[in-house]
Amino acid sequence: MSLRAFRRVFIALTVVGLLLTGCVSRQQNTGASQAPATVPLSELSGLTLQVGDQKGGTESLLRAAGALDNLPYQIAFSTFTSGPPQIEAATAGKIDFAITGNTPPIFGAASNAKVKVVSAYNGGGVGDQILVQADSPIQSVSDLRGKSIAVGKGSSAHGHLLGQLDKAGLTPADVTLVFLQPADALSAFKAGQADAWAIWDPYTAQAEQQLKVRSIAQAKGVTNGYWFGVASDAALADPKRSSALADLLVRFAKAAKWAQDHPQEWAEKYAAAVGLDPRAAEVSQSRSLRLPTALSDEVIASEQKIADLFAKSGQIQTAPDISKWVDRRYAGVLEPVLISSN
Return the closest-CA partner of residue 318 out of 309, 330, 327. Answer: 309
Q: What pLDDT does residue 22 have?
A: 35
Q: What pLDDT does residue 34 have?
A: 87
**pTM (two decimals):** 0.88
In degrees and rounded to multiples of 5, residue 145 shows phi and psi of -55, 125
Strands 291-293 and 74-80: unpaired
Positive or negative, the Cα torsion across 238, 31, 128, 259?
A: negative
We find that the CATH architecture of domain 35-123+225-337 is: 3-Layer(aba) Sandwich (3.40)
Q: How far apart are CA 148 and CA 155, in angstroms?
A: 17
pLDDT in tens, 122-141: 999 999 999 999 999 999 99
Q: What pLDDT does residue 186 have?
A: 95
- Other CB atoms closer than 10 Å to residue 175's CB: what's the count? 19
Q: What pLDDT does residue 30 have?
A: 55
Matching fold, domains 35-123+225-337 and 129-218: yes
Below-70 pLDDT ranges, the chain: 1-30
Q: DSSP for 7-73, please give it.
A: HHHHHHHHHHHHHHHHHHHHH----SPPPPPPPPGGG-TT-EEEEEEETTHHHHHHHHTTTTTT-SS
For residue 88, give every residue at least 6 positions away whose Cβ sits within 8 Å of its Cβ, in sequence order, or none.
113
For residue 272, give every residue at least 6 positions away whose Cβ sits within 8 Å of its Cβ, in sequence order, or none.
none
Strands 226-232 and 97-100: antiparallel
We find that the CATH architecture of domain 129-218 is: 3-Layer(aba) Sandwich (3.40)
Contact between residue 95 and residue 89 where contact means Cβ atoms under 8 Å apart: yes
**CA separation, residue 161 to residues 97, 136, 226 (Å):** 26, 18, 15
Q: What pLDDT does residue 29 have?
A: 55
Q: What pLDDT does residue 18 have?
A: 34
Q: What angle do CA 315, 95, 59 make, to 5 degrees?
A: 100
| Domain range summary for the chain, segments of one domain joined by + | 35-123+225-337, 129-218
Q: How far apart are CA 212 and CA 207, in angstroms?
A: 8
